[in-house]
Structure 1
Amino acid sequence: MTARSPRMTSSVAPNGSRSMRIVATCLLVAMAVVYGLARWGEGWQPASGPWIGYVRSFAEAAMVGGLADWFAVTALFRHPLGLPIPHTAIIPRNKDRIGDTLALFLRDNFLTPAVVARRMARLDIAAAAGRFLTAPPDMDGRLRKGASRLLADVMDALDDERLGGMVKGAIAHRLRGVEFAPLIGQALEAAIREGRHEPVMQAIISWASRTLDANEGLIRQMVHDRAGTVMRWTGLDETLANAIVSGLQKLLAEAAEDPDHALRQKAMEGLETLAHRLQHDAEMQVRIGRLRDEIIGNPAMQAWMESLWRQAREALLKAARDPRTALAGKFGEMLRQLGGMLEHDAEVRHLLNRFARRMAVGTAAAYGDGIVRLVSETVRGWDAHTITARLEQAVGRDLQYIRINGTLVGGLVGVAIHAVGRQFG
């Protein structure tokens, strides 16, 4: 990372940090001036009185404390006065170790499956989501606007290609872990048991009848082409074609009208056999699994998952940027109904919380190490000026308070030492 924005250089720290640095430096200079005046005033004793000693001690100790804390604060980020003093410029010299330590901290405390599972077990995500959807916070609140803007900025700043790849990979991984054959078999068995297959079978028979009517000419041509010369001379080929077409039309018409027709019964036996094999035949399940993997790996399926991710991302961005619109109209009413269900249906809450917990644990297990490596490699990729500027921007104001406190506390300690010296000297 060689190009740096001017905002990231240490010379333009935030206004708060810069102003506190000026205050701390001015306080140190003021102590030096007070010390000089006090030393000059001590020459006029006893006219000046014993108080001048206390002033001198305060200013002297304050200078020592202020200079010591200035050295300590400066040594974190650079060499004081540009001198290569050992154990200074600590952060630039150890940025790689800092990145590795930060990555290990994230992994050990946030991204291990055990930690994620323990934290998720204490969260009722479903109930929180239900309360939010049922009674969303004030749309005009500054906190809500800020949170929405932050969420939109974070989502917009994330690497779309890498994040999309992670989402697609997670979806594909979950799909490959699902055994579809037993699920399809159970659904088919339930449909047959409850009679819900009848409309489908009726639709298949109607489709077959329409297909037969649409291809009647093709059937007649096939019979004519395959009939012998004698049959064509005598016109028997046309008679045979008429018989075939009429027989098929009659068969389909009878099957459409009679629920107990032999054709329907045969189709029913085939469906029951298929449902049983899907649930209990290992070879059939392996074949369905291979078909599932081929479909998932198909470029068309990958493009579909890509489009799903992009649509979801755009919808989330739109909702984050304009939460008022997202929760208005029929869509908002649907979300409020969903929120009410999440609040009052314990079984749904349990299922959703369990799904969220498993998803979080699975994500931590699958991508925790990748996130850790990303943090470590990102910090390693920063140059010394960038990491110094970013850390100084984050904590610079507090560090300047340390300098101020060191100056004042040092002065008070100097006064105490001077008082003890006068008492027992």
Structure 2
Amino acid sequence: MKRFHEEEPAAAGGGANAADGVMLPEPAAGFTYSAADEEKRRGVRRMKALATGLLLTVALVYALAKWAQAGGAGGWAGYVAAAAEAGMVGALADWFAVTALFRRPMGLPIPHTAIIPTKKDQLGQSLGEFVGENFLSGGVVRMRLRAVGIGSRLGAWLSDPAHADRVTAELATALRGALTVLRDSDVQAVVGEAITRRADAVEIAPGIGATLEKVVADGGHHRVVDLVCVRAHDWLVTHSDSVMSAVTGGAPGWTPRFVDRKVGERVYKELLRFVTEMRDMPDHPARGAVDRFLTDFARDLQSDEDTRARVERLKSEVLGRGEVQDVIASVWSSVRAMIVAAAEDERSELRLRTRASILSLGARMTEDERLRRKVDGWLEDAAVYVVTTYRDEITALITETVAGWDAEQTSRKIEAHIGRDLQFIRINGTVVGALAGLLIYTASRLLGA
């Protein structure tokens, strides 16, 4: 009867278990056979020994009962022999069924045996299809997320100040990390290109004209004119000699010097008087001329094609200058430094506002059912989109992973996890078979009597 005991396949690989010297197989690609699995296999071997021992026991009982029956021991020997015989049949049948899952019984090429090693790829494909149909369907995902109630849970979690502090800190860390990873040169190039492209795509003259027209209509330019007049007056007072020198320097060479000085002084005094009157008289005619000029210029910026074309050419020339591009690119450095400093400072306005926004969002999600439903809908839609879009890739991962496993090691690992329960089937088959055999023998004796 020894031959009916499952033969343990030789361990592949050279690793040794430190506890008992059992050789562990080398893991296949993408497949791990751990020491815990080997410990489970030892438990399976103990259960195999128990099931096989029970089979040998009933075989011994059967032999003794038949010997006793032949020696005239009485009717009881027939009952015992029938029970032991049926127990052996049940044990052998279940041994064959359990063994056929993992290997060919006694090495014989019996059809539909060694099911797991030979059908591994089909089992992997079936498992992938089962997961895809029953776990990765849009209806199942949506129903499960709706039952969880993520919106209300998330709202309650965010409304806790400690959690809000944690989220704020994590966001600040992520922001600093992102800014650290980004290269300044790349970002500066992108920012410069974006600003330049945006400026090139939009005609600025009409906007400037409309703004200037409104400023003039509201009198907002008067302060600028006042400032120019004050600065011009102060400059003339401070640089009187320069003005007179400029006037006398442009006089003809044949005029007397004293005449040139008189003319220069006269020009200077008239210029100073003009600027002073313009500074002190809000209704000075020159101010009115400035108003009319600005009004006409604002109108030309909006409607005159030649003026608008000139402004566009000037804009392109200014944007094309290297100094302007350097200024645009340097904006990123300033913004980056400002954001990093704000993210690192726990009391910065950025972090305080972020924390307040998180707390406010949590409170709203807790109290506002409409917002909760909206958040739940967003999450459900996102999850369903991911699942339905990438379902084939997910199931293919299962199928391809199982297909990449070594057949022998797959069988070994599965047996390590479920083999102990399967050995109970052998034990139960022995016991149930014995009881069934006893019942049948008893019924036949009663009916035969």
TM-score by length of 2: 0.46
Larger radius of gyration: 2
Higher relative contact order (CA closer than 8 Å, sequence separation 6+): 1
TM-score by length of 1: 0.48
